[in-house]
Amino acid sequence: MSKNINILWFRKDLRLNDNPALVEANLNSEILPIYILDTCNSNEGKMGAASKVWLYHSLKNLNSSLDNKLNFYKGDPIKIINKLIKINNINGIYWNRCYEHWEIKRDKEIKKKLTEKGIQVKSFNGSLIREPWEILKEDKTPYKVFTALYKKAYLFSDIVVKTLNKPIKINFLYKTDDFNNLDSLKLLPNLPWASNIIRDWKVGEKEANLKADIFFTKGIKNYKNGRNFPFKKNVSFLSPHIHFGEISPKQLWVKVNNIEKNENIEHFIREICWREFSYYLLYHFPHLPTANLQIKFNNFPWKNNDDYFDKWKIGKTGYPIIDAGMRELYSTGYMHNRVRMIVASFLVKNLLVHWRKGERWFWDCLFDADLANNSASWQWVAGSGADAAPYFRIFNPVTQGQKFDEDGLYTKKYLPELKNIPKKYLFNPWEAPEDILKKANINLGVNYPKPIVGIKESREKALSAFRQIK
């Protein structure tokens, strides 16, 4: 009697609990677990350097939980899957859905070709609370305003969210003859930062759940207000775990809804739903990562000064809160959410550099580089997106620093050259008297840069540019 063998294709669902594809593939079957690094279809969707580092460690953790039976491949998924079907007499293939445009196109083609060959193909929702196509306005068009979608699909709906436990018994097959090991994917660059950047993070499903439980016990108590202050411990640090599917939004939804409601709990739920909104936009407007949702911004007079952009990337703008954020990003693979908004506003509004350039830099440097979140958030800041912040909302980096890093603990952590300057001048060192700068061992233009643009002048230029497209 021949074996019943199903392929379980891991993608952005690197966990065993609440994994619907795993549960279904396991029914009366042995499972051949695979991961494919798609090098043929992704184009601009290819992972950035920091994401590859996280992926490596996440796959290593997942493989350990599978008793080292995860099979790794690199190349064109349809060719790899066809070969596996032929070698192993496969009955079906199961996966959890992805939502980038190129992934949807690829998966449809794979499903069509395999179905024609008599192979059972099933896909599942393992990454969202609700599928993007489930919610439309009365005129059958997609929502473009977050609050309207939030109320219709989540707040006032009869939504029931359930999670799935890992099957009690799973029969994973041993590796196939032609499998590759994890190192063959060449995810880790041969550079010192690849090992340094991950040192403060623990990766994997177990750590993701532990981090969530600690956050819901402690960090969430002042979440709504405390999350604005980059040195406080009131953010979850779950974003990379969510992106790679080490923990699912449904698991978080169930955890948070088991806690007595208050403004902090409700605000966290809104943040889960903002992620859902980003995926909703990406699905209905697949050009989100590359084109303005508000087409009037196609005529915006960007300056795109390369020197400004390069100094922004390495944290040499002369504005301490900006420079601290950019140095945090490059040295840790992460940036606090409030600071992300401040540095993004500075790039597109004070420097008049196109949001696409900032989005691409974040894409390469962030562990949690998520195409939906990254694109929707950059367009929100730029004013070009759906339900975007108005263009005239321009963050002042001096007052933002003074308000949200009053004691300078965050800023001085990433800018040690400013450690001795008094708080009064920390976020505007160019205004400090010479004797204060000398005492703090600061030589503007030498060991810390002078501002590359003036705040008032650059703000006026931004507003003038905006008036041209109104």
The active-site residue, picked from 337, 420, 441, 447, is: 337
Neighbouring residues of 244: CB distance < 8 A, sequence distance ≥ 6? 12, 14, 54, 55, 58
* Structural element, H or E, at residue 32: strand 30-38
Rounded to an integer, what distance in angstroms lies between the CA atom of residue 95 and that of residue 124? 6
Indicate if 378 belongs to the active site: yes
Indicate if 9 belongs to the active site: no
The active-site residue, picked from 271, 305, 417, 430, is: 271
Indicate if 138 belongs to the active site: no
CB neighbours of residue 263 within 10 Å: 10
The active-site residue, picked from 374, 378, 380, 428, is: 378
The active-site residue, picked from 302, 305, 417, 430, is: 302
Query: What are the backbone dihedrals phi and psi of residue 351, each rounded to the nearest 5 degrees, phi first?
Result: -100, -10
CB neighbours of residue 469 within 10 Å: 16
Indicate if 302 belongs to the active site: yes
DSSP 343: H
Q: Residues of 53-88 as b/e, b for ≥16 C-beta within 10 angstroms?
A: bbbbbbbbbbbebbeebbbbbbeebbebbbebbeeb
**Selection from 395, 306, 401, 301 nearest residue 346 by Cα:** 395
Indicate if 102 belongs to the active site: no
Which residue shows structure tokens 């339900």? 387
The active-site residue, picked from 82, 125, 193, 274, is: 274
Rounded to an integer, what distance in angstroms lies between the CA atom of residue 349 and that of residue 382? 7
The active-site residue, picked from 9, 253, 355, 361, is: 355
* Alpha-helix runs per DSSP H in 117-247: 146-150, 193-196, 205-217, 223-226, 239-243
Q: Which residues are catalytic?
A: 271, 274, 302, 337, 355, 378
